[in-house]
């Protein structure tokens, strides 16, 4: 009977070792499968990225991308030209008309400042001289109907050496501010 028990114990021990070997075999197969899958994915991804970054692929696709970009610009151009055809509906805020008109007569330079953007206020116009340079600037801000508007303009003129900036005169006529600089020979 004891011999039988010893044989059982040996059989159990052999079965335990067999079971462990089988477990390690399954573990090895699963590990090899995961590693193989990872390496295959890495290889394919690496090859794909290398191909996409190669000069030959980019040169093939360059013309298509360039055409697509130009088409986008053309669409934007068409949209903007259609939408902004009639700028008068915006109250002229996109018009590029100068706020200062310049006239040269034989005896003077005349600068006519349109005071409309500055609510007709001639005090918002600043005049500075330096050498033979004349700088005319103006700014104003308004708050109407919960909307703030800020307008600023500056223009510098370089006049001939015979212009007498120290004798300049200013006067307001209606909605115009006229600056006159005499010319002496």
When mean pLDDT is compared over 18-27, 51-60, 79-88, the highest value belongs to: 18-27
Indicate the pLDDT class of residue 77, thresholds 50, 70 and 90: low
Helices within 54-159 (DSSP H only):
55-83
Global pTM?
0.47
- On whether the CB atoms of residues 125 and 118 are closer than 8 A, the answer is yes
Indicate the pLDDT class of residue 146, thresholds 50, 70 and 90: confident
Q: How far apart are CA 28 and CA 9, in angstroms?
A: 28
- Joined together, the tokens standing for residue 94 give 């996109």
Mean pLDDT score of the chain, rounded to an integer? 78
Q: Which residues contact 119 (CB under 8 A, 6 or more apart)?
A: 140, 142
Helices (H) and strands (E) in the chain, counts: 2, 7
Cα–Cα distances in Å, from 1 out to 5, 15, 23?
6, 21, 32
pLDDT tens readout for residues 157-167: 888 888 888 88
Residue 12 gets the label, from left (phi > 0), alpha (psi -120 to 50) or beta, of: alpha
User: Which of the 8 DSSP states describes residue 98?
Assistant: -
pLDDT tens readout for residues 105-124: 888 889 888 888 777 788 88
When mean pLDDT is compared over 13-17, 74-78, 102-106, the highest value belongs to: 102-106
Cα–Cα distances in Å, from 23 out to 30, 104, 171?
11, 103, 104
Q: Which tops the pLDDT comparison, 14 or 42?
A: 42
The SS3 of residue 62 is helix
Fold observed for domain 100-182 = Immunoglobulin-like (2.60.40)
**Amino acid 88: pLDDT:** 47
Q: Which tops the pLDDT comparison, 27 or 88?
A: 27
- What are the structural domain ranges in the chain? 2-83, 100-182
**Amino acid 7: pLDDT:** 55
Q: Which tops the pLDDT comparison, 100 or 60?
A: 100
């Amino acid at each position: 009977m004891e011999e039988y028990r010893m044989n059982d114990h040996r059989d159990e021990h052999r079965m335990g070792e067999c079971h462990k070997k089988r477990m390690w075999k399954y573990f090895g197969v699963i590990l090899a499968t995961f590693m193989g899958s990872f390496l295959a994915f890495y290889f394919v991804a690496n090859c794909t990225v290398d191909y996409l970054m190669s000069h030959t692929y980019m040169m093939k696709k360059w013309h298509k991308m360039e055409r697509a970009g130009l088409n986008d610009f053309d669409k934007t151009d068409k949209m903007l030209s259609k939408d902004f055809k009639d700028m008068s509906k915006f109250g002229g805020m996109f018009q590029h008309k100068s706020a200062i008109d310049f006239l040269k007569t034989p005896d003077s330079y005349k600068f006519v400042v349109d005071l409309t953007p500055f609510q007709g206020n001639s005090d918002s116009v600043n005049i500075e001289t330096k050498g033979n340079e004349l700088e005319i600037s103006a700014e104003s801000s308004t708050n109407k109907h919960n909307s703030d508007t800020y307008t600023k303009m500056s223009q510098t003129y370089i006049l001939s050496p015979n212009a007498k900036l120290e004798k300049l005169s200013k006067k307001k006529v209606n909605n115009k501010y006229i600056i006159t600089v005499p010319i002496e020979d």
